Amino acid sequence: MSRPLLFLDVDGPLNPYAAKPERRPHGYVTLRVPRRGPMPWERGGSLLRRRFRRVWLNPDHGPALSGLDYELCWATAWMAEANRWLAPELGLPELPFVDFGDALLRERPDGVHWKTAPLVEYADGRPFAWVDDEQSDLDETYVRAHHRAPALLHHVDPRIGLRENDFQTLAGFAGSSRTGAPGTGPLGD
């Protein structure tokens, strides 16, 4: 059996954007990414903020993610840009990414997150874990109804990003989803 997928959101899990703006979290480095134009979810700000986007990344996360028993995949509005700007800073190789196409940042009338259906489609029946800061019960219900393999929707607090307990949860899910053990997470039961 192949390894499960780990869908990685950037802003929230890897970039704790909601931390106090004047205080970079311990262990993180600041990356200033040149803007080609405003990201769809950002508005206004100083000239510096309009020319560059501040991203906080923890270089230890790359090796920690690579050490998990998953196939890593970007699941972010950054899409291919995550490989250009973020993967090298994290020490990650170029990763596949979910191309959200027309779904990108479009609210659904049923309240399901705009990423959820494309992630289920991309997984195509494979077990997966998805780390993000924007999932809800509606997303879990959607995945349960439309995905036939174990899935873990793991919420990460955007004020603190990924922590050791998150890595432990992900490692536990990867191990149980490969063995087909019951209780492989909230959606695998």
pLDDT tens column, 121-160? 999 999 999 999 999 999 999 999 999 999 999 999 999 9
- The predicted pLDDT at position 180 comes to 55
51 backbone φψ class: left, alpha, beta (φ>0; ψ -120 to 50): alpha
For the chain, which domains are there?
5-16+58-179 (3.40.50)
Q: How far is CA 140 from CA 57, 89, 187, in A?
A: 28, 32, 7
Residue 144, C-beta contacts closer than 8 angstroms, at least 6 positions apart: 151, 187
Q: With helix as H, strand as E and coil as C, how does 148-177 read?
A: CCCEEEEECCCCCCCCHHHHHHHHHHHHHH
Taking the chain (189 residues) in consecutive chunks of 10 residues, what is each chunk's mean pLDDT? Answer: 92 94 87 70 47 90 98 96 96 97 90 97 97 97 97 96 97 83 43
What is the pTM assigned to this prediction? 0.87
